[in-house]
Amino acid sequence: MKVVLGVCGFGYGHSTRQRPILEGLLARGHDVVLVTNDQSFEVFSEQFPEVTNMRVRVPVIHATPDGIDFDATADDERNSSPEANAAFWRACGMVQARFGRPDVVISDYDQVSGQIAYLFDVPLVTLDQQSKFLGFQCPPIGDYTPYEHRMRLGYFFPKARVRIATSFFTVGYEPVPEYPVTVIPPILGHDVRGLVAEPEERHVTVYVSAASHVEQSVEELVEVFAGFPEHRFDVFVDTTVAEVPPNVTVRHTDRAAFVDSLRRSSAVVSTAGHNLVTEALYLRVPMFLLPFAHYEQQLNARIVTEEGVGTSAALLTPENLGHFLANLDGYRECQERSSRVYGRFDGDTVFLDLLESLLDGDRG
């Protein structure tokens, strides 16, 4: 099977999720060409130098709680890149030279690979975690609604042969008939799969990205941690911290070090990204989430809180952190009882089986 795999490059979550898909496709004997940008281009170029990888340019879309900020999107200089059009046509030429015509295009939130599918008139399969916001009537959360994601997905992928959403929770909301979406279990990164959790008492992992849209600075968070001297906080950040108390270790964000710290943690404090929640669930680590100011992370935090596998807040305080740390056993027990969060993490295998079945049916 001749496959074009497009991977969004904003952050590392998409690349982490798609590495098992790429490895699975190659292991099953399929021929793959990658279409990537920004971080996904860097990751796959380094980790899979033998796989053809075309770098493209994608639009940078700015959001509001209830949709898209069109003016900010228009004013973003990255959306005026003169290389974008040429990069698209070069990618198409590469696909044609390699395959003639691909059998299928898979896209994880990458618009350019979707356009390649339309241009070559081949099946487009979307695999991401955002499509559940298009295919189901997900509820508003305060001022936040799923409309931004619906607008993006409708703009990126107005049609698809199949839309598949990986999710750490079962989606029980009313489906949207116009956009059928198949939900599969979460996809676990290759560096976490198979790890055995060895939690150390009072060891807490903290992840705060420099791009985090949270209301507190890293310095303010560290000040809260200083009030819990009996706990050790392993803080992963992309910035420097001037004053660090004895019970806090500040590290530059490093994936291998973060995963090792997480598997040894009795708790994690972090933003509410889908991949981190998935990894924490896999390793049975209770979560204190500080969600970004956009819908996806707000919903992730709500599910975690409602299921009792963690808690969330807009601000970290000595009071709410103390309550969280005093109830870790209760969060673990809730995960054991929950029927809403997945206890299986084989979404990559489920997806690849679905993909091959779909294409075999098309050929039959």
DSSP annotation string for 275-322: HHHHHHHHTT--EEE---SSHHHHHHHHHHHHTTSEEE-SS--HHHHH
Encode pLDDT of 11-60 as tens digits: 888 999 999 999 999 999 999 999 999 999 999 999 999 999 999 999 99
Determine the pLDDT at residue 213: 67
Would strands 203-208 and 232-237 be described as parallel, antiparallel, or unpaired?
parallel
Question: Which of the residues in the chain have pLDDT under 70?
Answer: 209-213, 363-364
How far is 33 from 218, CA to CA, in rounded Å?
40
What is the model's pLDDT at position 215? Answer: 81
Give backbone dihedrals phi and psi of 154, rounded to 5 degrees, phi first: -65, -35
pLDDT at 343: 94
CA 253, CA 214: separation in Å to the nearest integer? 17
pLDDT at position 364, please? 63
Instruction: In the chain, list all ranges with CATH 3.40.50.2000.
Output: 2-187+345-363, 203-337
pLDDT digits (tens, 9 = 90+) for 83-108: 899 999 999 999 999 999 999 999 99
* Pair 138, 173: CB distance under 8 Å: yes
Q: Could you write out the DSSP letters of every residue in 2-64?
A: EEEEEE--SSSHHHHHHHHHHHHHHHTT-EEEEEE-HHHHHHHHHH-TTS-EEE-------EE
As a whole number of Å, the CA-based R_g of the chain is 21
What pLDDT is stored for residue 238 in this prediction?
Answer: 83
Tokens 């976490």 identify what position? 192
CATH topology of domain 2-187+345-363: Rossmann fold (3.40.50)
pLDDT at 211: 57
CATH placement of domain 203-337: 3.40.50.2000
Q: Report the distance separating Cα 7 and Cα 17, nearest Å.
A: 9
- Terminus-to-terminus CA distance in the chain, angstroms? 14
Phi, psi of 129, rounded to the nearest 5 degrees: -115, -5
